[in-house]
Amino acid sequence: MTKAKPFIKWVGGKSQLIEQLDAQLPADFDNWENVTYIEPFVGGGAMLLYMLERYPNIQHAVINDINQVAIQ
């Protein structure tokens, strides 16, 4: 299976931090049921895509990101 990649290159993205961030999850996270993943700063989506691929117990995802520069 091909791994999903971030949909855009994002300054300050979490691609290089994924292992460190994953290590902060509870040891039994993959055993939790009906998980909702909330990503307040989705950026390029690296962490979101990683989480959805790695943890099939995530049933819902809520994402957000407001970039004032892009809105102007």
Q: What is the pLDDT of residues 23-33, one digit of tens each?
A: 999 999 999 99
Q: Mean pLDDT over residues 30-57, rounded?
A: 93
- So where are the chain's domains? 15-71
pLDDT-derived band at 44 (thresholds 50, 70, 90) equals confident
Evaluated on CA atoms 56, 57, 58, 60, the torsion sign reads positive
Residue 62 makes CB contacts below 8 A (sequence gap 6+) with 36, 37, 38, 39
Q: Mean pLDDT over residues 39-64, rounded?
A: 92
Closest by Cα among 50, 49, 48, 26 to 39: 48
| pLDDT score at 60 | 97
Rounded Cα–Cα distance for residues 69 and 57 (Å): 35
